[in-house]
Amino acid sequence: LPLAKASTSLSLSLQAKMSRPVQARRLEGIDKNIWVEFVKLAATYSTVDLGQGFPNFPPPDFLKEAFARALGGENHALHQYTRAFGHPPLVKILAQFFGKLFGRELDPMTDVMVTVGAYQALFCCFQAFVDEGDEVIVIEPFFDCYETMVKMAGGTPVFVPLRPKAPKDGKLMSSADWQLDLAELASKFNKRTKAIVLNSPNNPLGKVTPLAVLGLIADLCVKHDILCISDEVYEWLVYDGKEHIRIASLQGMWDRTVTIGSAGKTFSATGWKVGWAMGPNRLLQHLRTVHQNSVYHCATAAQEAVAQGFQREFALYGKPDSYFVQLPKQLQQKRDRLVQSLDAAGMKPVVPEGTYFLVADISAFKSDVPDVPNSDEPYSARFAKWMVKNKGLAAIPLSAFCCEAHRSNYNHLIRFCFAKEEATLKTANDILQKWKQEKTSP
Ligand code: PMP
């Protein structure tokens, strides 16, 4: 009898196996992600990881100390839930700090929301604003999640590429040589357009959008009554005396813009996952609905430490001791170091005006990694895989930052992150110069 019982339950459990499709329609076509593969490859093979965008140097001491105080201090409330839309000390200082930069008073309770990294701020925007059938304009190459997040919300991303112009003779290309065709951009605005995503400084090129272009984009937004989602996570990482301009500070834009920032990029602490969205209450109220019904809030102690970091920076704004002054200075040197290494090796860099990324042209290395005609895999991905496996150098192919239809335009490009210790950049240089020697010696 027990045997019969066992066999009945076995057959029931076999029948109980699910056979119906489980995946929600909104995930169709977005379930493969290049980061999973490339982060794993870097962990397995790389000697030098210049792939994923994070510093391998520590955040500033004042920030680490603030986190340690938050964890070890007497205020036990910092271990518990805080206000859902942002820990009060953090939203207050963010409102004060950025209010000054936007030239307007921000209400910390309604005009600022703290998120789990800039990533979640983006997610909240797309979920809050994009309906089935809506179009969202995305400038290419772009931070990859814009495309998938628009699609997940039921919208259609519409891509407008930055187009490279040849640099002057003998000069290296700059991210400033990649430009929008403004007539092409204007042609993409129509009745279905709900929003445009801006990312200046831009990942992966490091392009800083100049004021004149921001002004024209603003005019288009106002003319067509379009929202602007402005991802400004690299706002402090701008080089060569260039200036970061916040599009929400241009005429007519505050009312229609959500500006997104990240403590991860601002304070070199990407693992803390503290980000924020700022804008008028009429927009942020909808972000709060998504946030309240998804993650609820971001880690309290991390928010407390970031609040203290901003309080320090508020007092030091523009002064030589400010981290926001020091960090770009250090990163500009690192940029120049990697530019030099790549240029000397014959892997032509596009010199970035901002961010901690730079894109390089791999055309001269094609003989090492022959193309496979009609392969499904984009060439830049094949190349980056080969490079990490054979040279121990990890980078990200530009195929990660463009739509499928435009992949062939980016096949000769890969992205490096230069927010790395001197020793790491030196090892990268050693690898590149040795590689060049091997190529040139008979
Ligand atoms: N936007 C851009 C352009 C980024 O490059 C990144 C991180 N790579 C993010 C947003 C996400 O930032 P966070 O780590 O704060 O979620």
Task: Give the Å distance between the CA of 200 and the centre of ligand 1.
Answer: 12
pLDDT at site 13? 65
pLDDT at site 10? 65
Sheet holding 135-140, edge to edge: 112-116, 274-278, 257-262, 227-231, 193-198, 135-140, 156-164, 178-180
Decide if pLDDT at 80 tops 80.
yes
Residue 29 — φ and ψ, nearest 5°? 80, -5
pLDDT at site 9? 67
Count of CA atoms in the C-beta half-sphere (13 A) of 157: 27
Please identify, by atom number, the ligand 1 atom nearest to the C-alpha of residue 119: 16
pLDDT at site 287? 98
The domain segmentation of the chain, as residue ranges, is 27-59+322-440, 61-316
Cβ partners under 8 Å of residue 343, min gap 6: 172, 349
Question: Which residues on adjacent β-strands are paired with residue 135?
Answer: 156, 193
Please identify, by atom number, the ligand 1 atom nearest to the C-alpha of residue 270: 14
Biggest CA–CA distance in the chain, Å, is: 89
**Structure confidence at residue 4 as a pLDDT band (50, 70, 90):** low
Task: Give the Å distance between the CA of 53 and the centre of ligand 1.
Answer: 9
Task: Give the Å distance between the CA of 417 and the centre of ligand 1.
Answer: 13
Decide if pLDDT at 8 tops 70.
no
How far, in Å, CA of 322 to CA of 318, rounded? 7
How far, in Å, CA of 304 to CA of 265, rounded? 17
pLDDT digits (tens, 9 = 90+) for 219-264: 999 999 999 999 999 999 999 999 999 999 999 999 999 999 999 9
DSSP string spanning 323-334? HHHHHHHHHHHH
203 lines ligand 1 (CB under 6 A): yes
Q: How many DSSP H helices and E strands does the chain contain?
A: 14, 14
pLDDT digits (tens, 9 = 90+) for 355-410: 999 999 999 998 898 888 888 889 999 999 999 999 999 999 999 999 999 999 99
Lowest mean pLDDT among 25-34, 94-103, 303-312: 25-34
- The correct CATH number of 61-316 out of 3.40.640.10, 3.40.50.2300, 2.60.120.10, 3.60.70.12 is 3.40.640.10
193 lines ligand 1 (CB under 6 A): no
Task: Give the Å distance between the CA of 118 and the centre of ligand 1.
Answer: 5
**Structure confidence at residue 354 as a pLDDT band (50, 70, 90):** very high
pLDDT digits (tens, 9 = 90+) for 119-155: 999 999 999 999 999 999 999 999 999 999 999 999 9
Q: Which of 173, 126, 184, 178 is nearest to 154 (CA)?
A: 126
275 lines ligand 1 (CB under 6 A): yes
pLDDT at site 254? 98
pLDDT digits (tens, 9 = 90+) for 155-189: 999 999 999 999 888 899 999 999 999 999 999 99
Assigned fold of 27-59+322-440: Aspartate Aminotransferase, domain 1 (3.90.1150)
Lowest mean pLDDT among 17-21, 301-305, 341-345, 424-428: 17-21
Decide if pLDDT at 7 tops 90.
no
Q: What is the mean pLDDT of residues 74-86?
A: 97
Decide if pLDDT at 313 tops 80.
yes
